[in-house]
């Protein structure tokens, strides 16, 4: 087995709260991107944002609606978003929406005037995960304590 190959049992990693109704579970941090599961409670919205790298998203549970197009994405659906894509979406229905996402680059969140308010990337997601572990007094998952690739 290649030294960079590893399995992570997602159930061993707790959800990291980001704000009311929104949490993530990291699966891998790399120098150029990361993989995670994103969980949204029904009605929670992801504000308008732009991806600077490619995004691969596989819907595990629940449904979401892409607000710009009205497209609905449900369990088993795969969505590819190329670098530069701008969108917003929300969890719909009665059950939490869980999406497995692998992305490169940054996610830039916009203000109403189009200015970038904030961004997330592998470094900020990893910092949030490590801060969450410290606050709970638990060690980070050994595969998530380091940046790979």
Nearest to 97 by CA among 55, 134, 59: 59
d(CA 129, CA 124) in angstroms, rounded, equals: 9
pLDDT tens per residue, range 7-31? 788 888 999 999 999 999 999 999 8
Handedness of CA 87, 91, 109, 51 (dihedral sign): negative
* pLDDT of residue 110 exceeding 70: yes
Q: What pLDDT digit, counting tens, does each position of 121-140 carry?
A: 999 999 999 999 999 999 99
Can you give the pTM of this predicted structure?
0.91
Tokens representing residue 130 in the block: 């490590």
On the 0-12 / 13-18 / 19+ scale of CB atoms within 10 A, 11 is exposed
φ and ψ of 147, to 5 deg: -95, 130
Domains and CATH numbers, the chain: 13-136 (2.60.120.10)
């Amino acid at each position: 087995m290649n030294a960079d190959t590893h399995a992570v049992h997602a159930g061993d990693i707790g959800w990291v709260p980001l704000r009311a109704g929104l949490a993530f579970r990291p699966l891998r941090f790399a120098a150029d991107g990361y993989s995670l599961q994103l969980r949204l409670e029904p009605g929670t919205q992801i504000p308008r944002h732009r991806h600077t790298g490619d995004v691969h998203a596989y819907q595990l549970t629940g449904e979401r609606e892409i607000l710009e197009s009205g497209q609905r994405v449900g369990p088993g659906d795969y969505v590819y978003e190329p670098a530069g894509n701008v969108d917003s979406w929300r969890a719909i229905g009665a059950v939490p929406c869980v999406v497995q996402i692998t992305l490169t680059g940054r996610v830039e969140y916009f203000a109403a005037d189009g200015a970038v308010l904030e961004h997330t990337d592998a470094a900020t997601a990893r910092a949030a995960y490590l801060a969450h572990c410290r606050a709970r007094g638990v060690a980070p998952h050994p595969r998530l304590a380091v940046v790979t690739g």
